[in-house]
Amino acid sequence: MGLTEIYREGKKILGEKEFGWVLDAVETGFILEHDRHILDRYTFRPQYIDGVAPKTTCRILDVELATPVIMSAMTMPIPAIRDNGTMDVAQALKDAGSLMWTGTPTPKNLKELAATGVPIVANVKPFKDRDKMFRDLEEIQKAGVTWVGIETDAGQGTKIHDKQVASGCAPLSLQELKDIRKKVSCPLICKGILGRRDAEKCVEAGADGMVVSNHGAHTLDYLPHALQVMDEIVEAVGGKIVLIVDGGFRRGSDVLKGLAFGASLVGLGRPILYGLAAEGREGVYHLINEITEEMKRIMSLIGAEDPGKLTRDMLIEDP
């Protein structure tokens, strides 16, 4: 299946299931369309003459990947899409040389997922019950995750349309982030940063990376797209920590825009679910592979030899 078919088939299958609404957005639904609008504002500046031979391999925080296209944090609704869904996703991402990122609830089989050899990042929410949050942080590390993610943006839980889905959360303080840092012995990634001040605090807390993200429209309404705030965040972190983006990235062209703005990795949320629904393990593998192949075609004719060589002047912004 090509990408268009994976998306069409995946959306159809998920739309027929009762949980299809989890793919929707908070309150007015503004964010999803706006994400697409922002990504579509950039075109590529071709350099046909003396084209380059591109590669997509990268090494981020000591993890070797065949592609900078990774899974964004999600657990729900993977087990409801396919019985062995989380394992199918882990194996597909391993085959594609990508990375798996789980969300809440933490998958019960996290240890088995890690045993597949795919690099795993597991997220923890800032539960009001901070003891639970710290217990979760300990458990995911025992399961053998590669990095730990903290949902810095989930202080008001998760909301889709008018329905509060995940509650019982409270915003973290800088001191709490520093406390979390002390309890995490592997790289720590703060997820959901969308501005200079939070970015600076993550650096101060000792985070190794951050995901610039509007949480796929599942937290607050009217949040900007990651690309709108990348410049201020790149400047704020000054190359000290790794930047990852997600939100609405669907094709190789989208991923290259994220990299050109200074991200090292680009996350996919809903597309992973579409791939899984359409074709199971094969569907997720094809999804990552097709996007990576699309990237290579474009990279060869815009002068980008590897994911770290994408620069802003390779893009032209609509007036």
Ligand X SMILES: Cc1cc2nc3c(=O)[nH]c(=O)nc-3n(C[C@H](O)[C@H](O)[C@H](O)COP(=O)(O)O)c2cc1C
Query: Which residues are at the interface with ligand X (CB under 6 A)?
Result: 22-23, 72-77, 103-104, 123, 151, 191, 213, 215-216, 218, 246-249, 268-270
- CA 159 vs. chain centroid, Å, equals 19
CB of 314 to ligand X, least distance (A): 22
| Nearest residue (CB) to ligand X, 198 versus 246 | 246
CB of 75 to ligand X, least distance (A): 6
Distance, CA of 155 to CA of 126 (rounded, Å): 6
One-letter identity of residue 21: W
| Nearest residue (CB) to ligand X, 211 versus 302 | 211
| Nearest residue (CB) to ligand X, 54 versus 294 | 294
Burial class (CB in 10 A: 0-12, 13-18, 19+), 16: exposed
Burial class (CB in 10 A: 0-12, 13-18, 19+), 166: buried
Catalytic (active site) residue 215: yes
Q: In the chain, which residue ranges form alpha helices assigned H by DSSP?
A: 3-16, 30-39, 78-81, 85-96, 110-115, 130-142, 174-183, 196-205, 226-237, 252-260, 270-300
Catalytic residue among 37, 161, 215, 286: 215
| Nearest residue (CB) to ligand X, 171 versus 238 | 171
CB of 48 to ligand X, least distance (A): 31
Distance, CA of 261 to CA of 268 (rounded, Å): 17
Look at the chain and count its residues: 319
Catalytic residues: 215
